[in-house]
Structure 1
Amino acid sequence: MTRHIRHAGVFCALLLVALLLNAARVQVVQAPAYDGNPANRRPEIFRYGQPRGDILVDGRPVTGSKDTREHLRYERTYTDGPLYAPVTGFASQLYGTTLLEKAEDGILSGTDPMLAPFPLWNDFTRARSRGGDVVTTIDPAAQRAAYEGLAGRKGAVAALEPSTGRILALVSAPSYDPQPLSGNGAAAARAWKRLNADRDRPMLNRAVRQTYPPGSTFKVVTAAAALDAGVVTDLDAPTDSPDPYTPPGTRTRLTNASRGCRDASVREAFTLSCNTVFAKLGVEVGATDMTATAQAFGFNNPALRIPFPVARSTFDTSLDEAQLALSSIGQYNTRATPLQMAMVAAAVANGGQLREPYLVERTTRPGGSTLATAGSRAVRQAMYPSTAVRLRALMREVVEDGTGRRAAIRGAKVGGKTGTAQHGLGNSGTPYAWFVSWAQGDGDLEPRVAVAVVVEEAEADRGDISGGGDAAPIARAVMKAVLGSR
């Protein structure tokens, strides 16, 4: 009898070992296959089983979570959704995440290991920490000024703090409300279809994901290259520039929108925005130095993240002299995001040093304690400090006496550069109106804001469109909001 009991006990022990081994096989070895099976809804149920952390602007959450009492329990909500959509992106139970919602998903969803006091225990129990919060660098007054300035028009605005690289405003128009995309029902599917069918592409973040020919705003880069290379030593010396100018190897006659460009000095040409002078200047600087300066400002950099990726702004590295002439006035293959052109203005304002832009100030645990901070940002010398001083003076003259008068702010130093960029087949498209600028308050030791504005479809007649008329007032409103926000 005892022998039979012993055999039964050994058999039960073997069954128990087999059961444990099979459970380990299912939960460890085959877990990835089960997790990735489309029929398995447990990861989704788990993901939306608790509120998501929030994205904060000036200490105030612009996101939230709504309890639906369904299997996918918590849906994302947005405060002022269209205003902050180019920053937050969306978090949808059907269509995933974009922008900050995607870049900081680990913190917001609670899956980031840094949120767990005992990560190995969480792995064993499959528990998840509560979502943390993401604190942005956005200035709400500047963001609203940019949003309202673009009202009803296509375009984008990017604003930076030159000394740190903090992004103060990031606006794209037309915008959209991320809220209807949050759920998983028919309403979310209808909203997705409607937004993707919209010819104005409201979900495109024009501030960081769309590149444009920068037009005459690129003359800031060309002027920096000419000064750094020693091609220009005296801003007031005649440049021996014909009007019109024929680029080398072509019969094309390049003209100006302003009078007085023939043989104009660099100071006069910058204020009047003379194409002929700067096209010729780019050829004299040469492709090597023009490319080096453009890349020092951030062009041709495919790795820029803020923390979500930014489209690469381009300056062609294989150019003949005629192509170089056009590239030097922001045409041909030269393309830039509004954020890139804000970086150009910021480098001028910051003594030639370019701080890498960033959008997240810090991330926090659910209780509010700091998890991680932005830390020290990479800095690049875009031009000599002496060159930056001279460019700041040139940009101030554009606002005080040139094409950028509508950006002037009483009691502040403001520098700017207008641009009107041709595009389309045979330049048949409505030109883009550009304005890049920086501003320093009367009591400030250094400029506090740099801005880039592009308006795709200006309201003026085609022949009257200009950065000074259409984009400069928007930049002025953003700069004024930053200067008045202390």
Structure 2
Amino acid sequence: MTRYIRHAAAFCVLLLAALLVNAARVQIVQAPSYDANPANRRPEIARYQQPRGDILVGGETVTGSRDTSEHLRYERTYADGPLYAPVTGFASQEYGTTLLEHTEDGVLSGTDPMLIPFPLWHDRARGRGPGGDVVTTIDPAAQRAAYRGLGRRKGAVAAVEPSSGRILALVSTPSYDPGELSGNGAAATRSWARLNRHPDRPMLNRAVRQTYPPGSTFKVVTAAAALDARVVRDVDAPTRSPDPYTLPGTRTRLTNALRGCADASLRVAFERSCNTVFAKLGVDVGVARMAATARGFGFNDTDLRIPFSVARSTFDTSVDRAQLALSSIGQYNTRATPLQMAMVAAAVAGGGQVREPYLVERTVRAGGGTVAAAGSRPVRRAMFPSTAARLKQLMTDVVENGTGARAAIRGARVGGKTGTAQHGVDNSGVPYAWFVSWAQGHGDLEPKVAVAVVVEDAAADRADITGGGVAAPIARAVMEAVLASGGGRGEG
């Protein structure tokens, strides 16, 4: 009898061991597959059981969390949602995350291992620490100036600090309120459907995700290529450019909006935005050198992240000479985001060097300790310093004597370049109004801000758009805001 009891006890011990081994297998080995099972709602419930970390602008939070007392307990809230939507994106219980809410989700949700003192133990315990905060580089005064300047018009603004690459403003209009998508009820569903049906696509981040023909603002790049290649040695010497200019190998004649472009010097051509001069310069420079210069400014870069991805700005390298002429005046297949064109202006202001732009200054734990900081950013040369110095003067002339007069700021040195970009079938669309610029305050050792503005539906005739009547005042307001706030160093 005792022997049977011993056998039964041993069998029970084996069963218990088997249960423990199986439990360990389920809890550790198979846990990832259970977590990924669509029927398992525990990770989703756990995700919303605590407030999400915040995104900060100028030392103030522009996000929050609301306690709903439901299974998915905390919903995301936004202060000035439409103003900062191109920066924050949305965090929705139903539709996921975008922009900073997506790329910084590990910090904001508390799952980033860098937030946890003992990450290995925390992972085995399947716990979740409090969410951290994301401190942005945005200057709130510049952001508001850009948003107010665009108003009801469709367009975008990007502003950067030339010496560092810090993004000071990132605005896209029309915008939307990300808070409308935070929950998982009928209201969020209706908002999602309405925003996706809207013909102006308010959820599209035009500052970084939309490319446009840059028009005459691209002449900054063409001028840099011509000066670097020594196709132009003296900015005041005649360029031997006819008006009109017949595109090579075709009978198509390129003309100008203003008179006085025949055989104009680079200085005059830049001030008057002569298409004929810059088209011929692009052909004289050649596709290889034009492409190399464009690449130095950031065109054709597929890897730019700020930290979310930026659409690739393009300069077509497989063009004939006629197409190269059009590409060199920012038409044909040349496309650029507003952020890319802000980088072009920043390269001129920065002595020919391009700093990689960034949007996150640092991430911090809930207790305030720094998790990660931006640190130094990669730098590349877009042009020779001597070329940048000459372009700086040419852009200053545009504001002081030419088409960019409405960007002038009393007591500051401002450089700019206007642009009109044709688009649509047979160029039938209302031209896009562009302005790129930089500003240096009185007493500043270097320019503090570079700006690019594009307005898609400019309610003005072509002459007014070309003259900087639409986009230049918006750029001026942004530059004034940055100079008044001491260069945007207000992240807290």
Q: What TM-score results when the alignment is normalised by the length of structure 1?
A: 0.99
Superposition RMSD in Å: 0.9
Q: Counterparts in 2 of 1:213-252, with a 5 A limit?
A: 213-252=213-252
SS at match of 2:65: strand
CA contact (8 A) 2:416 2:435 kept: yes
Question: In the alignment, which residue of structure 1 is the partner of 2:21?
Answer: 21
Match of 1:263 in 2: 263
The one-letter code matched in structure 2 to 1:458 is A
Aligned-residue offset at 1:8: 2.2
Match of 1:374 in 2: 374
Q: What is aligned with 1:275?
A: 275
Identity of matched residues, %? 80
Counterpart residue number, 1:447: 447
2:10 aligned partner: 10
In the other structure, the counterpart of 1:105 is 105
Measure, in 2, the Cα distance between the counterparts of 1:350 and 1:28: 53
CA distance in 1: counterparts of 2:317 and 2:296, whole angstroms = 13
1:387 equivalent in alignment to 2:390: no
Partner secondary structure for residue 361 of structure 1: strand
Structure 2 counterparts to residues 50-449 of structure 1, below 5 A:
50-449=50-449
Per-residue CA distance 1:233-270 (angstroms, 9 max, x = gap): 00000111111100100111101011100110000000
Q: For residue 408 of structure 1, report the CA deviation from its aligned partner.
A: 0.1
- Distance of 1:37 and 1:307 partners within structure 2: 29
Number of aligned residue pairs: 486
Distance (Å, rounded) in 1 between the aligned partners of 2:146 and 2:456: 15
Q: Deviations over 1:342-373 (max 9, x none)?
A: 00000000000110000000000101111110
Q: Secondary structure at the match of 1:451?
A: strand
Three-state SS of the structure 2 residue aligned to 1:207 is helix
How far apart in 2 are the matches of 1:274 and 1:198? 38
Q: Is the 8 A contact 1:83 1:175 kept in 2?
A: yes
**1:404-450 Cα distance to aligned partner (Å, 9 max, x none):** 00000000000000000000110001100000000000010000000
Q: Letter of the aligned partner of 1:23 in structure 2?
A: A
The CA distance in 1 between the partners of 2:465 and 2:437, in whole Å, is: 18
Conservation of the 8 A alpha-carbon contact between 1:160 and 1:167: yes
Q: What secondary structure sits across from 2:417 in the alignment? A: strand
Letter in structure 2 aligned against 1:355: R
For the residues of structure 1 that align with 2:277 and 2:481, how far apart are their CA atoms? 35
Query: Residues of 1 paired with 2:460 and 2:429: CA distance?
Result: 14
CA–CA separation in structure 2 for the residues paired with 1:461 and 1:355: 36
1:434–1:467 contact (8 Å) kept in structure 2 = no
1:203-231 deviation per Cα after TM superposition (whole angstroms, max 9, x unaligned):
00000000000000000000000000010
Deviates more, 1:120-129 or 1:166-175: 120-129
Deviations 1:273-315 (A, max 9, x none): 0000000000000001000000000000000000000000000
Aligned partner of residue 438 in structure 1, secondary structure? strand
Give the letter aligned to residue 242 of structure 1.
Answer: P
Deviation (angstroms), 1:467: 5.9
In 1, the alpha carbon distance for the partners of 2:480 and 2:463 equals 29
Q: CA deviation at 1:123?
A: 1.3
> Alignment partner of 2:157: what SS?
strand
Is the 2:464–2:470 contact (alpha carbons within 8 Å) kept by the matching residues of 1? no
How far apart are residue 45 of structure 1 and its match? 0.1
Deviation, 1:463, is 5.4
CA distance in 2 between counterparts of 1:461 and 1:349 reads 30
Contact 1:407 1:472 in 2 (8 A): yes
Unpaired runs of 5+ in structure 2? 487-492
Q: Which amino acid aligns with 1:436?
A: V
Whole-angstrom distance in 1 between the partners of 2:32 and 2:349: 52
> Separation in 2 of the partners of 1:412 and 1:464?
24
Deviations for 1:91-141, whole angstroms, at most 9, x for unmatched residues? 000000000000100000000011110111111111111100000000000
Q: CA deviation at 1:32?
A: 2.6
Residue type matched to 2:206 in 1?
R
Residue 489 of structure 2 corresponds to: none
- CA distance, structure 1, for counterparts of residue 320 and residue 369 of structure 2: 56
Q: Which moved more, 1:15-24 or 1:377-386?
A: 15-24
- What is the CA-CA distance between 1:462 and the residue it aligns to? 4.7
Relative to structure 1, the CA distance from residue 268 to residue 158 in structure 2 (aligned partners, 3 Å threshold; closer, same or farther) is same
Q: 1 CA distance for matches of 2:410 and 2:463?
A: 30
Cα distance in 2, alignment partners of residues 215 and 251 from structure 1: 22
Structure 1: distance between partners of 2:485 and 2:456: 29
Question: TM-score, with normalisation over the residues of structure 2?
Answer: 0.98
SS in 1 for 2:245: coil
Q: Distance in 1 between matches of 2:27 and 2:192?
A: 36
1:339 maps to a residue whose letter is: L
Alignment partners' CA distance in 2, 1:222 and 1:332: 14
Deviation digits for residues 298-334 of structure 1, max 9, x if unmatched?
Answer: 0000000000000000000111100000000000000
Shift of 1:192: 0.3
Amino acid at match of 1:304: L
Q: Within 2, Cα distance between the matches of 1:459 and 1:231?
A: 38
